[in-house]
Each structure stands twice: as structure tokens, then as C-alpha cells.
Amino acid sequence: MNRSKTLSFVCVCIALAGCGDDGQATNGTPEDTGSTGEVEATTMGAGPTSSDDPATTNDPSTTSGGSATSDGDTTAATDGSGSSGDAPTAGVCVATCREDQDCCPFGALGCPSEDYPNNWSCDEGFCAFGGCSEDAECIDLLDPSQECHPISGIGTCFEPCREDGDCAMLLGRDGTCTGVADDGSMYCEVPVDPCRTDDDCGGSGTCDVAAGTCGCTVDDECTEDGMGCHI
């Protein structure tokens, strides 16, 4: 596996701070990458971590990981062994903030700013990542194989793929060339194991056992420090 493939994988998940139920990173808000039963996207960015900053995440890029999102405000009761009832998981656990600085990766120089990759902001109490705007930003930070394409509206650095063979052995697992950016560009995704209990979510929500994804309906379900439920 070459260096650019490894960088592409790390980048996709962070750029959006977590991946949603379609394997794409979700809207620039950092979120946990616990078991989801979906696919983990591979894109670029670096977000705050729970051990380093009150505003916590696992991706811009998101991402990943992450949980399925839908509308609704129904609270699903849990007992530590998986969400019960018929109510769908409504949101995802993402890093909370009071100001833009809270969203910066620990030790990041020049953050926050308007320039990628330090263009983090605090949007209504949740961290949001601005993403890249042109290929040059990806090339300067990574290598010439990287390009900037929008995923869920957020500019994301990744190396486009053409076939599954381009996605071999990403983070120790073979991926598939199944991710589709907003502009139709393809990127690598890596399957992750579905959750079976709330413990599998690692503090980032509760487990929707039927879907195998982690999510939340209220802040109390996001037990990891610095996280809140974004619906």
C-alpha cells in the first residue's frame, strides 16, 4: 500500500468529522467513529480529540464512523444492551463548543482561521469544519494524488478511485470504491462492524440494533466528554 492511499483513507473520515449512514462524512461536524455497520469513508482533515480538547471528535472527516441521521426528537430508552422501542435514532454525537477555538485540533498552529485545514468554527454550539476549496490545498498538505471534492457539501481531500483494487488494505482492511462525492467522484470506503450494544458506541450515542448504527436523540446519550447530540 502506498503512502497516498493511507493518507486518503485517514483524510476522508476527518474532513467531515465522521461518516454518515451512507458512508460519507457528515456535514463537517466532528463525531465519533464507533461501530456503525456501515462503511467508513476515506478523506482529509484533523479534528479535536476527547483526550486533548473539551470539544471532542474522532474526523473532518468526520466523521467517521459516525451514526445514521434522521429527523425526529423521540428519545429511545436503553439499558446498555441496545436501544429499545420503534423510534429511530435521530442524531449524531458531535463535539460541542462555545467559540471557534474549542474546535481546533490540539496543538494546531494558526487555528482557527479561514484557511484549510484550520477553518474550524463553532456553529450554534457544535463544531463545524469548512473543508478544502481547491486541489492545491490538498496537494500542498498531502501529495499530488489528492484532490478536493465536496462530500455532503464539505470540501474533502482524497485520492479518487476507479475500482476496488485501488482501495486495498486501508487501515488493515480492504475497502471498496463505492463512495460517491457530490460531484460524482468516487472514493474508497472501508466496512466497519455493526454495533450490537450501546457499549459498542463508545460513549457516542446508543445502538440502533436493527440498523447496527450508533446515534442519539438527547445530549445525555452522548456520554463522551465534550460531546452533544446534533439533530
For residue 208, give the C-alpha cell: 440502533
User: Which residues are registered as beta bridge partners of 207?
Assistant: 214
pLDDT higher than threshold 70 for residue 139: yes
Residue 126 CB: number of other CB atoms within 10 A?
24
List, in order, residues 6 or more apart from 169 with CB less than 8 Å away.
1
CA nearest 92: which of 200, 206, 231? 231
The residue with greater pLDDT, 128 or 12, is 128
CA 88 – CA 16 distance, rounded (Å): 23
pLDDT higher than threshold 60 for residue 52: no
Mean pLDDT over 107-132 rounds to 95
pLDDT higher than threshold 70 for residue 102: yes
| Coil, helix or strand at residue 21 | coil
The residue with greater pLDDT, 176 or 54, is 176
Instruction: Tell me the pTM.
Output: 0.64
pLDDT recorded at residue 59: 38
pLDDT band at residue 142, thresholds of 50, 70 and 90? low
For residue 62, give the C-alpha cell: 468526520
The rounded percent of the chain whose pLDDT value lies above 90 is 53
pLDDT tens-digit series, residues 194-212: 999 999 999 999 999 999 9
Element (H, E) at 135: helix 135-141
CA nearest 95: which of 35, 48, 129, 39? 48
For residue 172, give the C-alpha cell: 488493515
pLDDT higher than threshold 70 for residue 169: yes
- Could you tell me how far CA 86 lies from the centroid of its own chain? 26
- Asked if omega into 150 is within 30° of 0 (cis), the reply is no
pLDDT higher than threshold 50 for residue 35: no
User: Which residues are registered as beta bridge partners of 27?
Assistant: none
Mean pLDDT over 50-70 rounds to 34
* Angle in degrees, CA 227, 220, 11, rounded to 5: 25
pLDDT recorded at residue 144: 86
